[in-house]
Amino acid sequence: MTTIAEPGALPAVHRDQLSFDEVYAAHYADLTVQLYAYCGDRQEAQDLVQEAFCRALSRWRTVAEYEDPIAWIRRVAWNLAVSGWRRRRTALGFLSRQRREEPAQEGPGPDRVALFAALAALPAPQRRALVLHYLADLSVAEIAERESVPTGTVKSWLSRGRTALAEEVRRD
C-alpha cells in the first residue's frame, strides 16, 4: 500500500519526489499488467503507463493532493489506451527514450497467452470491465463511476464477459 507523505513531513521538493517515486514503484507494474491485458501488447502497455506517470509528474503537486492519485494516473493511462495517442505514439521520438534490453527468449506462458488471447476476443467494454475488476480490483460501483454508466450495465458487462471468457478459455 502506498502512502503519500504528509505535508510538512519533508521539505517540499524532496517530499514531492519521494511521493512520486513511491507511487511509481508501487503501481507501475500493476497498471501495466492491466493495460497489457486490455490492449494485448506489453511494450505498448509499458509506454502508455510511463506516459501517464510522466503526465502525473508534470503536475504532481496537484495530483498528489487528490484523494487517490493512482486513480487519476490509471484514468489517464486508460484514456491514452483508447485514444489516438497509441497511434500517434508510433510517430513519436523513440530515440530519446531509454529502454532496457529485454530477454529475447522469454515468452509469455501458455496460460497467460490463452487468457489474454481470450480477452482480446471480447468486446471492449466487457474486456475493460473484466480487467478493471480482476486486475485493478475495482468494485462494480467504482467501475460504473469510472465508465459513467449505471451499476447494472457493469454487472451485465461482467456477466457476459465471464461467460464469453469461459467459452474462449475452454476452446483453448
Partner 1 sequence: MTDPFENLFAEARIEAVRQIQPPGAVAAHQVVRRRRTVGLAAVALAVLVVAGGSTLLAQQRSAAPAPASTRSVDDGLPGIARGKLAKGGPAIEAADPVTAGYSRQYATYVGNLTFELACAGKGRITLVIEGIPNKETGESAPVEQARATAVCSADPARSAVRFSASKAISYLVVRLADGTDAIGHAGFAYRLTSDAGVLMKPDDKRADPGAVLPTTGEAVEAKSDLMWVHPIDLHMTELPRLTPGTYQLAAACGGSGVATIQVRSGNRVLVNHDVPCQWQPKRADIAVGVADSSVSTWVAFRTPAGNTAPARIAWAWIRA
Footprint of partner 1 (CB under 8 A): 17, 20-21, 24-25, 28-30, 32-33, 36-37, 40-43, 46, 50, 53-54, 57-58, 88, 90-102, 104, 106-117, 120-121, 130, 134-135, 162, 165-166, 169, 171-172
Longest dimension (CA), the chain: 57
d(CA 120, CA 12): 44
Q: Cβ of residue 98: shortest distance to partner 1, in angstroms?
A: 6
Residue 40 CB, nearest approach to partner 1 (Å):
5
Least separation in angstroms between residue 147's CB and partner 1 is 19
Residue 125 or 148: which CB sits closer to partner 1? 125
Nearer to partner 1, 87 or 148 (CB): 87
Distance CA 91, CA 85 (A): 10
Considering the complex, state which of residue 160 and residue 162 has its C-beta at the smaller distance from partner 1: 162
Q: How far is CA 109 from CA 36, 65, 105, 117, in A?
A: 14, 40, 12, 12
Question: What angle do helix axes 42-58 and 69-82 make, rounded to 10 degrees?
Answer: 130
User: Whose Cβ is closer to partner 1: residue 144's or residue 164's?
Assistant: 164
CB–CB of 99/71 below 8 Å?
A: no
Q: Output 61 or 148, the one with its CB closest to partner 1.
A: 61
Min separation Cβ 13 and partner 1, Å? 12
Please identify which residue in the block is written with the cell numbers 484523494. Answer: 67
